[in-house]
Amino acid sequence: MAEVDSSLRARLGHDSDVNFIVVDELPIKGMVINFMPSWWQKEYGISFGERYIFDPDYRVETTLFKWRAINERFPELHVGARDPKPEVIPVDYQNALGPAVAGCEIMYPENNYPLSRHLSEDRLGSLKIPDDPENAFPYKEMIGQVKYLNRKFNKDVNPFIFKNGILNDAVLIRGDQIFLDLMDENEIAKQVMDFSFDLGVKVFEMNFKNRSMPAVMPLCNCTAELIGPETYESAQLDYDSRMLSYLKSRGQKTMLHHCGFFDPFISQYKKLPEPEYLQIGFKSDPKAALNAFPNSHVDYCYSANWMATATAGEVEEKTKQVLEASRGNWHRFSVSIGDIDVGVPEEYLMIIYECIKRAS
């Protein structure tokens, strides 16, 4: 398997135990597929839950099994590994990481990533960035596990701490009420957004100190579509602009992840420091994104929900449309099929792959 562009490994910035890279001399830059824990539990009986988070030996053992299983299941896709060697697999709190630092209750389902409960309004006043995040939960746990696995495998992996997008974390901490807060421009909205922004700077400083920032750091705007471009510009754009400027000032390459409908936000995103990479959602027009950001790599994200109800013909036709829309820019274009769950026909992965492989 050819080595893939680092941007494709940065879909979540850190989840090396669940992302599988697909590259086989494709006309486009690459292809990434990602399976949900629920898929793994149903297909292979893997339990996640607290043990997957807090027992690094179990997580490494399970990951080796996953790499072998996916390699055997999809031999044509060149994914996983036939004979994987133990590696340092960091703990991954996914979307629950920021809320955990904020003091939200964290749950550990057996068939999903960790989940969080929103803070009640009376607890928002206690939001505070840890003075020493490396000794605060859950960062201390994450760093400690990396150190343990380094000793066990004689590795030298630097512990990386992920930071979700600014509004993403605000929604997870405050809940849906944050949208009303933003429209009202009240003090609670500012407090929660400031906390999310300041936490990001604190986390990134910690990563820079530990020399653990990835080649490409994503700024995830999954929730931007829920507020629309006008509210985004008035309530969030300044935070994103300052965060991207800060990262660029440190020489860090960035990715703007917008897994919703990208097109209506183009004029707002053009006001940001231009990221090196973009991820755009399923309904987005690749040509519009490529034209608007001529210096950026664009990654097109398929919708697993759509694939679960689409026909094989619709999947093939959609892939052809995506390839035609990105024609002339395949050197800076890739696709991702993320969050594959039970119900997505597996043969659709091969349809997309073969369609791309045959493109000319």
Please give the Cα distance from 35 to 37 (Å, whole number).
7
DSSP codes, 101-169: HHT--EE--TTSS-EEPPPPGGGGGG----SSGGGSTTHHHHHHHHHHHHHHHT--PPPP-----HHHH
Task: Inform me whether the pLDDT recorded for 232 exceeds 60.
Answer: yes
> Left, alpha or beta for 78 (phi > 0: left; psi -120 to 50: alpha)?
left
Asked whether residue 1 carries a pLDDT value surpassing 60, the answer given is no
Helix, strand or coil, per DSSP, at residue 85: coil
Residue 13 C-beta-side C-alpha neighbours within 13 Å: 27
pTM for the model = 0.93
> In 3D, which of 1, 7, 62, 4 has the Cα closest to residue 35?
62
Distance CA 271, CA 192 (A): 23
- Report the mean per-residue pLDDT for the chain: 92
Poorest-confidence range of 18-22, 34-38, 232-236, 279-283?
A: 18-22
Residue 7, pLDDT > 80, answer no
Contact 159, 153 (CB under 8 A): no
Q: Quick check: 13 and 217 in contact, CB under 8 A?
A: yes
Give the confidence band of 10 by pLDDT, cuts at 50, 70, 90.
Answer: very low
pLDDT of residue 48: 95
CA distance 287 to 290: 5
Span 332-350, pLDDT tens digits = 999 999 899 999 999 999 9
Average pLDDT over residues 144-156: 97
Which are the contacts of 358, defined by CB distance < 8 A and separation ≥ 6?
none
- Give the model confidence (pLDDT) of 173-231 as tens digits: 999 999 999 988 889 999 999 999 999 999 999 999 999 999 999 999 999 999 999 99
pLDDT for 156: 95
Residue 5 has pLDDT above 80, yes or no: no
| Per-residue pLDDT reduced to its tens digit, 41-75 | 999 999 999 999 999 999 999 999 999 999 999 99
pLDDT in tens, 85-99: 999 999 999 999 999
pLDDT beyond 70 at 19? no
**Number of CB atoms found within 10 A of residue 3's CB:** 7
pLDDT, tens digit, for every residue of 244-278?
A: 999 999 999 999 999 999 999 999 999 999 999 99
**How high is the pLDDT of residue 185?**
85
**Distance from C-alpha of 290 to C-alpha of 325, rounded to nearest angstrom:** 9
pLDDT band, residue 80 (cuts 50/70/90): confident
pLDDT at 294 exceeding the cut of 60: yes
Structure tokens at 74: 């999809």
CB atoms within 10 A of CB 267: 11
The answer for residues whose C-beta is within 8 angstroms of residue 215's C-beta and 6 or more apart is: 6, 7, 9, 10, 253
For residues 264 and 119, give the distance between their C-alpha atoms in angstroms, rounded to a whole number: 31
How crowded is residue 261: how many other Cβ atoms within 10 Å of its Cβ? 15
Going by C-alpha positions, the residue among 103, 91, 35, 21 that lies closest to residue 66 is: 35
User: Burial of 314 by CB count in 10 Å (0-12 exposed, 13-18 middle, 19+ buried)?
Assistant: middle
